[in-house]
Amino acid sequence: MLENKDQSRTSLSELGEFQLIEHLTKSVKLHHKSTIKGVGDDCAVIENQNKQTLITTDLLVEGIHFDMSYMSLKHLGYKAVMVNLSDVYAMNAFAKQITVSIAVSNRFPLEALEELYAGIHLACKTYQIDLIGGDTTSSTKGLLISITAIGEADKKDVVYRNGAKANDLLVVSGDLGAAYLGLQVLEREKQVFQVNPGAEHELDNYTYLIERQLKPEARKDIVKLLQDLEVKPTSMIDISDGLSSEILHICKQSDVGCNLYEDKIPLDQQVISTCEEFNMDSTTVALSGGDDYELLFTISQEDFPKIKANPHLTVIGHITDKKEGCHLITRGHQKVEIIAQGWNAME
Ligand code: ADP
Ligand code: MG
Protein backbone atom coordinates (compact mmCIF):
# COMPACT_ATOMS: atom_id res chain seq x y z
CA MET A 1 0.00 0.00 0.00
CA LEU A 2 2.84 2.38 0.79
CA GLU A 3 4.67 1.95 -2.54
CA ASN A 4 1.87 3.28 -4.61
CA LYS A 5 0.43 6.53 -3.34
CA ASP A 6 -2.70 6.25 -5.44
CA GLN A 7 -3.56 2.93 -3.87
CA SER A 8 -3.71 4.50 -0.42
CA ARG A 9 -6.47 6.87 -1.58
CA THR A 10 -9.56 5.01 -2.64
CA SER A 11 -11.95 7.19 -4.61
CA LEU A 12 -15.48 7.12 -3.25
CA SER A 13 -16.71 6.51 -6.79
CA GLU A 14 -15.08 3.06 -6.66
CA LEU A 15 -17.66 2.05 -4.06
CA GLY A 16 -21.38 2.31 -4.39
CA GLU A 17 -23.31 4.10 -1.67
CA PHE A 18 -24.35 0.84 -0.04
CA GLN A 19 -20.83 -0.53 -0.03
CA LEU A 20 -19.65 2.70 1.53
CA ILE A 21 -22.27 2.57 4.30
CA GLU A 22 -21.50 -1.08 4.92
CA HIS A 23 -17.78 -0.29 5.07
CA LEU A 24 -18.23 2.56 7.55
CA THR A 25 -20.68 0.80 9.84
CA LYS A 26 -19.60 -2.85 9.79
CA SER A 27 -17.68 -2.55 13.07
CA VAL A 28 -20.66 -1.14 14.95
CA LYS A 29 -21.41 -2.93 18.20
CA LEU A 30 -24.65 -2.29 20.03
CA HIS A 31 -24.50 -1.64 23.78
CA HIS A 32 -28.11 -1.16 24.80
CA LYS A 33 -31.10 -3.43 25.15
CA SER A 34 -33.25 -0.46 24.16
CA THR A 35 -31.71 -0.56 20.66
CA ILE A 36 -33.94 -3.11 18.97
CA LYS A 37 -32.74 -2.46 15.41
CA GLY A 38 -29.68 -0.47 14.30
CA VAL A 39 -28.20 0.15 10.84
CA GLY A 40 -29.65 -1.82 7.96
CA ASP A 41 -33.37 -1.27 7.62
CA ASP A 42 -35.60 1.64 6.70
CA CYS A 43 -35.73 2.73 10.32
CA ALA A 44 -33.87 2.05 13.51
CA VAL A 45 -36.08 0.81 16.33
CA ILE A 46 -35.73 1.87 19.97
CA GLU A 47 -37.77 0.66 22.92
CA ASN A 48 -37.55 3.03 25.84
CA GLN A 49 -40.30 1.52 27.97
CA ASN A 50 -41.34 3.87 30.78
CA LYS A 51 -38.63 6.41 30.19
CA GLN A 52 -38.82 9.74 28.45
CA THR A 53 -36.92 10.05 25.18
CA LEU A 54 -34.72 13.08 24.53
CA ILE A 55 -33.66 14.06 21.04
CA THR A 56 -31.14 16.64 19.88
CA THR A 57 -29.47 17.31 16.56
CA ASP A 58 -26.59 19.43 15.23
CA LEU A 59 -25.36 20.20 11.77
CA LEU A 60 -21.66 20.92 11.24
CA VAL A 61 -20.46 22.52 8.02
CA GLU A 62 -16.86 22.63 6.84
CA GLY A 63 -15.50 26.17 6.78
CA ILE A 64 -18.18 27.35 9.22
CA HIS A 65 -18.02 25.02 12.21
CA PHE A 66 -14.68 23.37 11.60
CA ASP A 67 -11.47 23.96 9.72
CA MET A 68 -9.71 20.91 8.34
CA SER A 69 -6.34 22.65 8.20
CA TYR A 70 -5.74 21.99 11.90
CA MET A 71 -8.36 19.48 12.83
CA SER A 72 -7.95 15.84 11.85
CA LEU A 73 -11.01 13.99 10.66
CA LYS A 74 -10.72 11.63 13.59
CA HIS A 75 -10.93 14.55 16.02
CA LEU A 76 -13.78 16.00 14.02
CA GLY A 77 -15.79 12.78 14.22
CA TYR A 78 -15.18 12.54 17.95
CA LYS A 79 -16.08 16.17 18.61
CA ALA A 80 -19.20 16.04 16.44
CA VAL A 81 -20.50 13.24 18.67
CA MET A 82 -19.51 15.09 21.87
CA VAL A 83 -21.40 18.23 20.86
CA ASN A 84 -24.60 16.20 20.69
CA LEU A 85 -24.05 14.05 23.76
CA SER A 86 -23.39 17.20 25.75
CA ASP A 87 -26.89 18.44 24.93
CA VAL A 88 -28.42 15.21 26.24
CA TYR A 89 -26.36 15.33 29.45
CA ALA A 90 -27.45 18.96 29.89
CA MET A 91 -31.00 17.61 30.37
CA ASN A 92 -29.72 15.31 33.16
CA ALA A 93 -30.32 12.34 30.86
CA PHE A 94 -28.09 9.62 29.45
CA ALA A 95 -27.45 9.44 25.70
CA LYS A 96 -27.97 5.96 24.24
CA GLN A 97 -28.04 6.21 20.45
CA ILE A 98 -26.89 8.45 17.61
CA THR A 99 -27.52 8.71 13.90
CA VAL A 100 -24.84 10.19 11.64
CA SER A 101 -25.56 11.78 8.28
CA ILE A 102 -22.84 12.99 5.97
CA ALA A 103 -22.66 14.89 2.70
CA VAL A 104 -19.23 14.59 1.18
CA SER A 105 -17.51 15.84 -1.98
CA ASN A 106 -15.32 13.55 -4.07
CA ARG A 107 -12.29 15.50 -2.82
CA PHE A 108 -12.46 13.07 0.12
CA PRO A 109 -11.14 9.56 -0.44
CA LEU A 110 -12.53 6.56 1.41
CA GLU A 111 -9.60 6.73 3.83
CA ALA A 112 -10.72 10.20 4.97
CA LEU A 113 -14.19 8.88 5.83
CA GLU A 114 -12.58 5.95 7.62
CA GLU A 115 -10.73 8.49 9.79
CA LEU A 116 -13.94 10.40 10.47
CA TYR A 117 -15.69 7.18 11.48
CA ALA A 118 -12.72 6.11 13.62
CA GLY A 119 -13.43 9.21 15.73
CA ILE A 120 -17.17 8.52 15.76
CA HIS A 121 -16.65 4.86 16.73
CA LEU A 122 -14.20 5.83 19.47
CA ALA A 123 -16.71 8.27 20.93
CA CYS A 124 -19.43 5.61 20.79
CA LYS A 125 -17.22 3.07 22.52
CA THR A 126 -16.07 5.46 25.23
CA TYR A 127 -19.55 6.79 25.99
CA GLN A 128 -21.48 3.55 25.36
CA ILE A 129 -23.49 4.90 22.47
CA ASP A 130 -25.12 2.83 19.72
CA LEU A 131 -24.70 4.14 16.16
CA ILE A 132 -28.08 3.17 14.73
CA GLY A 133 -28.31 4.84 11.34
CA GLY A 134 -27.86 7.90 9.22
CA ASP A 135 -27.75 9.01 5.64
CA THR A 136 -25.01 9.36 3.06
CA THR A 137 -25.00 11.69 0.10
CA SER A 138 -22.61 13.72 -2.01
CA SER A 139 -21.94 17.44 -1.83
CA THR A 140 -20.46 19.69 -4.48
CA LYS A 141 -18.00 21.15 -2.05
CA GLY A 142 -16.70 20.19 1.37
CA LEU A 143 -18.11 18.07 4.13
CA LEU A 144 -21.30 18.33 6.17
CA ILE A 145 -22.01 16.19 9.20
CA SER A 146 -25.33 16.03 10.95
CA ILE A 147 -25.62 14.00 14.13
CA THR A 148 -28.74 13.28 16.09
CA ALA A 149 -28.43 11.98 19.62
CA ILE A 150 -31.17 10.14 21.48
CA GLY A 151 -31.21 9.87 25.24
CA GLU A 152 -33.44 8.55 27.96
CA ALA A 153 -34.32 9.50 31.51
CA ASP A 154 -37.02 8.93 34.06
CA LYS A 155 -39.57 11.71 33.80
CA LYS A 156 -38.74 12.84 37.33
CA ASP A 157 -35.05 13.27 36.48
CA VAL A 158 -35.25 15.48 33.40
CA VAL A 159 -33.90 18.99 34.05
CA TYR A 160 -34.89 21.97 31.92
CA ARG A 161 -33.47 25.45 31.62
CA ASN A 162 -36.47 27.03 33.28
CA GLY A 163 -36.43 25.74 36.86
CA ALA A 164 -33.98 28.09 38.62
CA LYS A 165 -35.38 29.83 41.74
CA ALA A 166 -34.15 32.85 43.74
CA ASN A 167 -31.42 31.83 46.23
CA ASP A 168 -30.43 28.72 44.25
CA LEU A 169 -26.69 28.31 43.82
CA LEU A 170 -25.10 28.61 40.38
CA VAL A 171 -22.66 25.75 39.79
CA VAL A 172 -20.31 24.89 36.95
CA SER A 173 -18.37 21.69 36.18
CA GLY A 174 -14.69 21.63 35.20
CA ASP A 175 -12.99 24.83 34.13
CA LEU A 176 -13.70 27.43 31.47
CA GLY A 177 -12.06 29.26 28.60
CA ALA A 178 -9.46 26.65 27.61
CA ALA A 179 -11.09 25.54 24.36
CA TYR A 180 -11.34 29.10 23.07
CA LEU A 181 -7.68 29.74 23.83
CA GLY A 182 -6.80 26.43 22.18
CA LEU A 183 -8.46 27.73 19.03
CA GLN A 184 -6.45 30.96 19.23
CA VAL A 185 -3.23 28.96 19.54
CA LEU A 186 -4.16 26.77 16.56
CA GLU A 187 -5.15 29.79 14.43
CA ARG A 188 -1.83 31.42 15.24
CA GLU A 189 0.07 28.26 14.31
CA LYS A 190 -1.85 28.03 11.07
CA GLN A 191 -0.77 31.56 10.13
CA VAL A 192 2.85 30.88 11.06
CA PHE A 193 2.69 27.70 9.01
CA GLN A 194 1.28 29.52 5.98
CA VAL A 195 4.14 32.02 6.05
CA ASN A 196 6.80 29.43 6.85
CA PRO A 197 5.74 25.81 6.26
CA GLY A 198 8.97 24.47 7.77
CA ALA A 199 8.48 26.31 11.06
CA GLU A 200 8.89 24.27 14.23
CA HIS A 201 5.71 24.04 16.23
CA GLU A 202 6.28 24.85 19.88
CA LEU A 203 3.03 23.86 21.53
CA ASP A 204 4.17 22.30 24.82
CA ASN A 205 2.78 25.16 26.91
CA TYR A 206 -0.66 24.79 25.37
CA THR A 207 -1.35 21.05 25.45
CA TYR A 208 -4.38 21.32 27.72
CA LEU A 209 -5.86 24.18 25.68
CA ILE A 210 -5.44 22.34 22.38
CA GLU A 211 -6.85 19.14 23.78
CA ARG A 212 -9.91 21.01 25.05
CA GLN A 213 -10.46 22.46 21.58
CA LEU A 214 -9.75 19.35 19.51
CA LYS A 215 -10.89 16.56 21.79
CA PRO A 216 -13.55 17.81 24.17
CA GLU A 217 -15.29 15.37 26.49
CA ALA A 218 -19.00 15.68 27.20
CA ARG A 219 -19.74 15.50 30.94
CA LYS A 220 -21.55 12.20 31.28
CA ASP A 221 -19.54 11.75 34.49
CA ILE A 222 -21.22 14.81 36.01
CA VAL A 223 -24.72 13.47 35.33
CA LYS A 224 -23.66 10.23 37.01
CA LEU A 225 -22.06 12.14 39.88
CA LEU A 226 -25.20 14.19 40.51
CA GLN A 227 -27.21 10.99 40.53
CA ASP A 228 -24.81 9.39 43.04
CA LEU A 229 -24.90 12.51 45.23
CA GLU A 230 -28.69 12.54 44.98
CA VAL A 231 -28.72 16.07 43.70
CA LYS A 232 -31.27 17.06 41.09
CA PRO A 233 -30.40 20.46 39.62
CA THR A 234 -33.27 22.92 39.39
CA SER A 235 -32.07 24.01 35.93
CA MET A 236 -29.21 23.03 33.63
CA ILE A 237 -27.57 23.91 30.31
CA ASP A 238 -24.30 23.01 28.61
CA ILE A 239 -21.71 25.70 28.03
CA SER A 240 -21.12 25.63 24.31
CA ASP A 241 -21.29 29.39 23.65
CA GLY A 242 -19.54 30.88 26.67
CA LEU A 243 -20.65 31.24 30.28
CA SER A 244 -22.38 34.60 29.95
CA SER A 245 -24.79 33.68 27.19
CA GLU A 246 -25.67 30.38 28.93
CA ILE A 247 -26.32 32.12 32.26
CA LEU A 248 -28.59 34.54 30.47
CA HIS A 249 -30.51 31.63 28.89
CA ILE A 250 -31.14 30.11 32.31
CA CYS A 251 -32.13 33.46 33.84
CA LYS A 252 -34.42 34.40 30.98
CA GLN A 253 -36.16 31.04 30.83
CA SER A 254 -36.44 30.77 34.61
CA ASP A 255 -37.55 34.39 34.98
CA VAL A 256 -34.85 35.17 37.55
CA GLY A 257 -31.67 37.25 37.93
CA CYS A 258 -28.22 36.23 39.17
CA ASN A 259 -25.00 37.35 40.77
CA LEU A 260 -21.90 35.72 39.34
CA TYR A 261 -18.60 36.20 41.19
CA GLU A 262 -15.57 36.85 39.01
CA ASP A 263 -13.13 35.42 41.54
CA LYS A 264 -15.03 32.09 41.63
CA ILE A 265 -14.86 31.30 37.90
CA PRO A 266 -12.72 28.14 37.59
CA LEU A 267 -9.71 28.60 35.31
CA ASP A 268 -6.90 26.20 34.49
CA GLN A 269 -3.34 27.42 35.09
CA GLN A 270 -2.67 27.25 31.32
CA VAL A 271 -5.62 29.56 30.73
CA ILE A 272 -4.21 32.08 33.18
CA SER A 273 -0.66 31.97 31.78
CA THR A 274 -1.79 32.03 28.13
CA CYS A 275 -4.11 34.98 28.78
CA GLU A 276 -1.14 36.84 30.22
CA GLU A 277 0.97 35.96 27.20
CA PHE A 278 -1.75 36.93 24.70
CA ASN A 279 -2.68 40.03 26.70
CA MET A 280 -6.26 38.84 27.10
CA ASP A 281 -8.53 39.09 30.11
CA SER A 282 -9.17 35.60 31.48
CA THR A 283 -12.67 36.53 32.72
CA THR A 284 -13.65 37.72 29.25
CA VAL A 285 -12.32 34.47 27.79
CA ALA A 286 -14.33 32.38 30.28
CA LEU A 287 -17.48 34.45 29.76
CA SER A 288 -17.37 34.71 25.98
CA GLY A 289 -15.17 31.89 24.70
CA GLY A 290 -17.08 28.87 23.44
CA ASP A 291 -16.69 25.13 23.02
CA ASP A 292 -16.16 24.26 26.68
CA TYR A 293 -18.95 21.62 26.87
CA GLU A 294 -19.10 21.94 30.64
CA LEU A 295 -22.41 21.87 32.49
CA LEU A 296 -23.87 24.95 34.16
CA PHE A 297 -26.66 24.27 36.63
CA THR A 298 -28.49 25.57 39.63
CA ILE A 299 -29.17 23.69 42.86
CA SER A 300 -31.20 24.55 45.90
CA GLN A 301 -29.15 25.72 48.91
CA GLU A 302 -30.12 22.59 50.83
CA ASP A 303 -28.05 20.51 48.43
CA PHE A 304 -24.88 22.55 48.94
CA PRO A 305 -23.33 20.18 51.56
CA LYS A 306 -23.58 17.33 49.04
CA ILE A 307 -21.48 19.05 46.39
CA LYS A 308 -19.25 21.35 48.37
CA ALA A 309 -16.13 19.20 48.62
CA ASN A 310 -16.27 18.02 45.03
CA PRO A 311 -13.26 18.97 42.90
CA HIS A 312 -15.28 18.80 39.65
CA LEU A 313 -17.88 21.34 40.76
CA THR A 314 -17.54 25.03 41.59
CA VAL A 315 -20.18 27.35 43.00
CA ILE A 316 -19.79 30.57 41.02
CA GLY A 317 -22.77 32.58 42.17
CA HIS A 318 -26.43 32.52 43.07
CA ILE A 319 -29.82 33.23 41.61
CA THR A 320 -31.72 36.39 42.56
CA ASP A 321 -35.13 37.89 41.89
CA LYS A 322 -35.62 38.91 38.30
CA LYS A 323 -35.85 42.58 39.22
CA GLU A 324 -32.25 42.53 40.46
CA GLY A 325 -30.99 41.68 36.97
CA CYS A 326 -27.98 39.57 35.94
CA HIS A 327 -24.66 40.81 37.27
CA LEU A 328 -21.01 39.98 37.50
CA ILE A 329 -19.45 40.95 40.81
CA THR A 330 -15.85 41.78 39.89
CA ARG A 331 -12.73 41.15 41.96
CA GLY A 332 -12.87 44.85 42.82
CA HIS A 333 -16.47 44.40 44.14
CA GLN A 334 -18.02 46.31 41.27
CA LYS A 335 -21.39 45.14 40.04
CA VAL A 336 -21.63 45.06 36.24
CA GLU A 337 -24.44 43.82 34.06
CA ILE A 338 -23.84 40.55 32.21
CA ILE A 339 -24.45 40.78 28.48
CA ALA A 340 -24.36 37.90 26.01
CA GLN A 341 -20.80 38.63 24.90
CA GLY A 342 -19.06 39.00 28.26
CA TRP A 343 -20.32 41.86 30.36
CA ASN A 344 -21.32 45.46 29.94
CA ALA A 345 -18.40 47.41 31.33
CA MET A 346 -20.20 50.71 30.65
CA GLU A 347 -22.53 50.44 33.62
P1 ADP B 1 -32.66 4.72 2.83
O2 ADP B 1 -32.70 4.42 1.39
O3 ADP B 1 -33.79 4.15 3.63
O4 ADP B 1 -32.36 6.17 3.14
P5 ADP B 1 -29.90 4.13 3.13
O6 ADP B 1 -29.45 3.28 2.01
O7 ADP B 1 -29.58 5.59 3.10
O8 ADP B 1 -31.43 3.88 3.39
O9 ADP B 1 -29.29 3.54 4.46
C10 ADP B 1 -29.23 2.16 4.72
C11 ADP B 1 -28.97 1.96 6.18
O12 ADP B 1 -27.69 2.52 6.52
C13 ADP B 1 -29.97 2.65 7.08
O14 ADP B 1 -30.11 1.85 8.24
C15 ADP B 1 -29.31 3.95 7.43
O16 ADP B 1 -29.78 4.45 8.65
C17 ADP B 1 -27.84 3.54 7.49
N18 ADP B 1 -26.91 4.63 7.11
C19 ADP B 1 -26.90 5.33 5.95
N20 ADP B 1 -25.88 6.22 5.92
C21 ADP B 1 -25.23 6.08 7.11
C22 ADP B 1 -24.10 6.74 7.70
N23 ADP B 1 -23.44 7.72 7.08
N24 ADP B 1 -23.71 6.36 8.92
C25 ADP B 1 -24.40 5.38 9.58
N26 ADP B 1 -25.45 4.72 9.09
C27 ADP B 1 -25.88 5.07 7.86
MG1 MG C 1 -30.66 7.24 2.82
Give residue-wise pLDDT tens across range 147-168.
Answer: 999 999 999 999 999 999 999 9
Atom of ligand 1 nearest to the CA of 44: 14
Q: Residue 136 Cα, ligand 2 centroid: separation in angstroms? A: 6
User: What is the band of 4 on the pLDDT scale with cuts at 50, 70, 90?
Assistant: very low
Kindly report the number of other CB atoms within 10 A of residue 14's CB atom.
10
Determine the residue of 12, 35, 37, 39 to mutate for testing ligand 1's pocket, defined as the one with the most ligand atoms within 8 A of the Cβ atom.
Answer: 39
Q: Which residue from 206, 177, 175 is spatially nearest to 281, judged by alpha carbons?
A: 177
Task: Give the tens place of pLDDT for each residue, 58-79.
Answer: 999 998 888 888 889 999 999 9
Local structure of residue 16 (DSSP, 8 states): -
Which helix (H) or strand (E) segment holds residue 243: the answer is helix 243-254
Kindly report the pTM of this predicted structure: 0.93
Q: Residue 50 Cα, ligand 1 centroid: separation in angstroms? A: 28
User: Does residue 129 carry a pLDDT above 90?
Assistant: yes
Local structure of residue 215 (DSSP, 8 states): S
Q: Which residue from 147, 18, 15 is spatially nearest to 77, judged by alpha carbons?
A: 147
Local structure of residue 68 (DSSP, 8 states): T
